[in-house]
Amino acid sequence: MPYPHVLLSAAVSLDGYLDDTGPERLLLSSPADFDRVDEVRASVDAILVGAGTIRADNPRLLVNSAGRRAARVAEGRAEYPLKVTVSGSGDLDPAANFWHTGGEKLVYTTDAGAERATALLGDTADVVPLGPVLDWRALLAHLHDGRGVRRLMVEGGGTVHTQLLQQGLADELQLVLAPLLVGDPAAPRLFGPGAYQGGRLRLTGSRRIEDVVLMRYEPTAPGTGPLDTAADRHWLRTACELAALCPPSETAFSVGAVVVAADGTELARGHSREGGDPVMHAEEAALTKLDPADPRLPGATVYSSLEPCAHRASRPVPCAGLILAAGVRRVVTAWREPDTFVTAADGSGVLAAGGVEVVTVPEYAALAQLPNAHLPH
Ligand SMILES: NC(=O)C1=CN([C@@H]2O[C@H](COP(=O)(O)OP(=O)(O)OC[C@H]3O[C@@H](n4cnc5c(N)ncnc54)[C@H](OP(=O)(O)O)[C@@H]3O)[C@@H](O)[C@H]2O)C=CC1
Ligand SMILES: Nc1c(N[C@@H]2O[C@H](COP(=O)(O)O)[C@@H](O)[C@H]2O)[nH]c(=O)[nH]c1=O
């Protein structure tokens, strides 16, 4: 299911708080950093905050720069990004600034919350019930498919950030560390307790902005079940991009593969016909680089732009067999094998029969097909 790119944005104190407990919003960002936040807002299709942030901060969440708003309009975009909030209760103050500034507003809520939100807000905002409980994947799919949102900035608070990160739905974190301490355990924290990815996130950038430091991170650890996560999509994209390295062929697919440990460490990568071997497959090229006794393999995920092969003439064991022999328990792929060279190959079926969780992410199929456009499929 396609989702928007989800960017979590927050400013945090040295001791990990988003705010203090005083009546005014705590300014953690510096003036230049607030301007950076404005620039990010201007770049997105929608901005989301939880109902708790509306209650605590009474935010406007505007693009404040007239120049940036004009540039959006010149590009044919709405002057302001769509403003989105989430509320289970539907208990939203109709006098809040959120409803009376900027462009369109949208509330995601539960069936019960929708009744209350609609009664309170009338037609100030679109109210979308998502069932008895609020499901983040349904929310993101609705934003993507129903509202055309491709980039979503999430500006907190901690309850919302925590869920999106824990559920593997955050593509990117932009955190600003501010040189002050809150020291009050009753204050809201950026991330609450619960189960996060193991291992380390990838630091993709850092920058000093006056007296604060901006840090950009991406989650790296593969998902653990049948649903693809933001990190899964990152690695699958990498696999698809690797396929561009394949020497061209009229008689074989161009495929890329990456093997990633449970903690997000890349173990190996490969592509078709690597090393001048005309029959080398991508998964084979990657797995060959690893010690078969590597204890990280059973917890690893294999990402392959095309599903691993089930039959081969050129080698004794197909890639599905190599993956089973390596003890890998999860495979993420973009494209089911067409009948171009082998009829009804079904490597996914072979893997599933061997107890491997196979996740297909069809929105990446076009990317996987790109270096294979000259082949019938
Ligand atoms: N420094 C910074 O960058 C930022 C700081 N902040 C600070 O964060 C604090 C607010 O954070 P917090 O209290 O965590 O509030 P949030 O903004 O995260 O909102 C939490 C509320 O959102 C709704 N909600 C969230 N997830 C769900 C779900 N799965 N199902 C149903 N409803 C859901 C609920 O609304 P309901 O209660 O209506 O059911 C819940 O109470 C404020 O003090 C604010 O100043 C906020 C943003 C950025
Ligand atoms: N305090 C704080 C942030 N708080 C965020 O900014 C929102 C208010 O924006 P506005 O409506 O433009 O005043 C607020 O609700 C919360 O989401 N953001 C930051 O980058 N740095 C900060 O220090």
How many other β-carbons are positioned within 10 Å of the β-carbon of residue 105? 19
- State which of 13, 14, 24, 28 you would mutate to test the pocket of ligand 2, scoring each by most atoms of that ligand within 8 A of its C-beta: 28
Within-domain flag for 260: yes
Residues 314 and 166 in one domain: no
Q: Residue 143: beta bridge partners?
A: none
Residues 262 and 361 in one domain: yes
Ligand 1 atom closest to Cα of residue 187: 43
Residues 170 and 239 in one domain: no
The pLDDT score that the predictor gives to residue 363 is: 95
Ramachandran assignment for 58, one of left (phi > 0), alpha (psi -120 to 50 degrees), beta (any other): left
Residues 202 and 234 in one domain: no
3-state secondary structure the chain: CCCCEEEEEEEEECCCECCCCCCCCCCCCCHHHHHHHHHHHHHCCEEEEEHHHHHHHCCCCCCCCHHHHHHHHHCCCCCCCEEEEEECCCCCCCCCHHHHCCCCEEEEECHHHHHHHHHHHHHHCEEEECCCCCCHHHHHHHHHHHHCCCEEEECCCHHHHHHHHHCCCCCEEEEEEECCCCCCCCCCECCCCCCCCCCCCEEEEEEEECCEEEEEEECCCCCCCCCCCHHHHHHHHHHHHHHHHCCCCCCCCCCEEEEECCCCCEEEEEECCHHHCCCCCHHHHHHHCCCCCCCCHHHCEEEEEECCCCCCCCCCCCHHHHHHHHCCCEEEEEECCCCCCCCCCCHHHHHHHCCCEEEECHHHHHHHHHHHCCCCC
Model confidence pLDDT, tens digit, residues 270-293? 999 999 999 999 999 999 999 999
The per-residue b/e assignment along 227-265, b for 16 or more CB within 10 angstroms, e otherwise, is ebbbbbbbbbbbbbbbbebbeebeebbbbbbbbbbbebe
Which residue did the predictor score with more confidence, 337 or 189? 189
The residue behind tokens 């980039």 is 151
Residues 213 and 70 in one domain: yes
Q: What are phi and psi of 310, to 5 degrees?
A: -105, -20
pTM over 0.90: yes
Within-domain flag for 64: yes
Tell me the percentage of the chain whose pLDDT exceeds 90.
94
pLDDT at 375 over 90: no
Within-domain flag for 186: yes
Straight-line distance from the first to the last Cα atom of the chain, in angstroms, rounded to the nearest whole number = 23
Q: How far is CA 353 from the centre of its chain?
A: 29
Does ligand 1 lie within 6 Å of residue 43's CB atom? no
Q: Is the dihedral angle over the CA atoms 68, 69, 74, 79 positive or is it negative?
A: positive
**Domain CATH for 298:** 3.40.140.10
Quote ipTM for the complex.
Answer: 0.95
pLDDT classification of 376: cutoffs 50, 70, 90: confident
**Interstrand relation of 82-87 and 46-50 (parallel, antiparallel or unpaired):** parallel
What residues line ligand 2, using a CB cutoff of 6 Å? 11, 25-29, 37, 49, 53, 57, 59-62, 155-156
Answer yes or no: are the C-beta atoms of 269 and 204 closer than 8 Å.
no
pLDDT at 339 over 90: no
Does ligand 1 lie within 6 Å of residue 157's CB atom? yes
Residues 180 and 329 in one domain: no
Q: Whose CA is nearest to atom 13 of ligand 2?
A: 59
The pLDDT score that the predictor gives to residue 285 is: 98
Within-domain flag for 223: no
* Domain boundary pick from 187, 218, 249: 218
Within-domain flag for 224: no
Residues 324 and 347 in one domain: yes
Name the closest ligand to CA 167: 1
pLDDT classification of 214: cutoffs 50, 70, 90: very high
Q: How many domains does the chain have?
A: 2
Lowest mean pLDDT among 25-39, 116-130, 338-352: 338-352
Stretch 190-200: mean pLDDT, rounded? 93
Within-domain flag for 143: yes
Does ligand 1 lie within 6 Å of residue 88's CB atom? yes
pLDDT classification of 198: cutoffs 50, 70, 90: confident
**Domain CATH for 185:** 3.40.430.10
What is the 160 CA–ligand 1 centroid distance (Å)? 6
Provide the residue range defining the domain that includes 107: 5-218
Q: Whose CA is nearest to atom 31 of ligand 1?
A: 88
What is the 207 CA–ligand 2 centroid distance (Å)? 19
* Domain boundary pick from 193, 218, 243: 218
Residues 121 and 254 in one domain: no
Ligand 2 atom closest to Cα of residue 178: 23
What is the 15 CA–ligand 2 centroid distance (Å)? 18
Stretch 325-333: mean pLDDT, rounded? 98
Name the closest ligand to CA 156: 1
pLDDT at 321 over 80: yes
pLDDT classification of 345: cutoffs 50, 70, 90: confident
Stretch 35-63: mean pLDDT, rounded? 98
The residue behind tokens 């449970």 is 262
The pLDDT score that the predictor gives to residue 68 is: 98
Name the closest ligand to CA 50: 1
Residues 266 and 313 in one domain: yes
Name the closest ligand to CA 93: 1
Within-domain flag for 152: yes
* Domain boundary pick from 150, 183, 218: 218
CA distances from 264 to 29, 32, 158, 173, 328 (A): 30, 33, 24, 16, 15
Residues 174 and 27 in one domain: yes
Q: Whose CA is nearest to atom 14 of ligand 2?
A: 59
Residues 169 and 288 in one domain: no
Within-domain flag for 377: no
The residue behind tokens 């349904």 is 138
Stretch 137-157: mean pLDDT, rounded? 98
The pLDDT score that the predictor gives to residue 278 is: 94
What is the 58 CA–ligand 2 centroid distance (Å)? 10
Residues 274 and 328 in one domain: yes
